[in-house]
């Protein structure tokens, strides 16, 4: 089942998830290093802004994920897995938002042990969400071009993936 929203022949949702994913992972690493090893407020502040970027990026990616999910036929395993994928991503975003708001209330936006614990839990939930997303694509073919194969033409060629090469 092909994605409903594409850019240059590729689904937009998977393109967008790398920003929040990278931002959240970086934030957790920076905050852990700040809290456990360095004490440098710069690390904590950068972690704080990475969470903000991740939240905004996650919300943008969610819009395109929702559009693709709505196109999945009802009553299928893919529809159920897609709902679990979305639900776990929403849970992750909410947990990161709680951690971010907790830090937003402080003057220097540095993480407390509670905020870091929330971030680690959110990242674990995000890992489950990512696995479910992989299940959608790799096992259920959601977002995959109908004619995809090892020697399919380039998406910018203008030829459908299943079209033979013209010589």
What are the boundaries of each domain within the chain? 6-139
34 vs 147, higher pLDDT: 34
What percentage of the chain carries pLDDT values higher than 90?
Answer: 70
Q: What is the pLDDT of residue 111?
A: 92
Q: What is the pLDDT of residue 25?
A: 98
Q: Give per-residue pLDDT as tens, 48-58.
A: 999 999 999 99
Q: What is the mean pLDDT of residues 96-113?
A: 92
Strands (E) located in the chain: 6-7, 10-11
How much is the mean pLDDT over the chain?
A: 91
Query: pTM of the prediction?
Result: 0.89
60: buried, middle or exposed (CB in 10 Å: 19+, 13-18, 0-12)? middle
**Nearby residues of 107 by Cβ (< 8 Å), 6 or more positions away:** none
Q: What is the pLDDT of residue 145?
A: 79
Dihedral of the alpha carbons of 162, 69, 51, 119, in degrees to the nearest 10:
-110
1-5, 10-14, 32-36: lowest mean pLDDT where?
Answer: 1-5
Structural contact between residues 140 and 81, judged by C-beta atoms closer than 8 angstroms: yes
Q: What is the mean pLDDT of residues 135-157?
A: 83
Pick from 99, 92, 96, 100: nearest CA to 129: 92
Q: What is the pLDDT of residue 164?
A: 65
Q: What is the pLDDT of residue 2?
A: 67
Token readout for 152 is 């399919």
**Residues in the chain, total:** 167
């Amino acid at each position: 089942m092909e994605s409903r929203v594409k850019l240059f022949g590729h689904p937009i949702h998977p393109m967008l998830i790398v920003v929040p994913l990278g931002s959240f992972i970086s934030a957790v690493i920076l905050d852990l290093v700040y809290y456990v090893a360095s004490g440098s407020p710069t690390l904590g502040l950068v972690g704080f802004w990475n969470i903000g970027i991740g939240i905004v990026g996650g919300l943008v990616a969610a819009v395109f994920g929702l559009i693709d999910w709505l196109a999945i036929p009802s009553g299928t395993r893919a529809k159920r897995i897609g709902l679990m994928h979305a639900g776990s991503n929403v849970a992750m975003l909410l947990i990161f938002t709680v951690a971010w708001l907790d830090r937003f209330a402080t003057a220097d936006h540095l993480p407390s042990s509670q905020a870091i614990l929330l971030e680690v839990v959110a990242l674990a939930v995000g890992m489950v969400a990512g696995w479910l997303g992989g299940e959608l694509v790799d096992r259920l073919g959601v977002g995959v071009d109908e004619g995809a194969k090892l020697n399919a033409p380039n998406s910018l060629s203008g030829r459908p993936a299943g079209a033979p090469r013209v010589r």
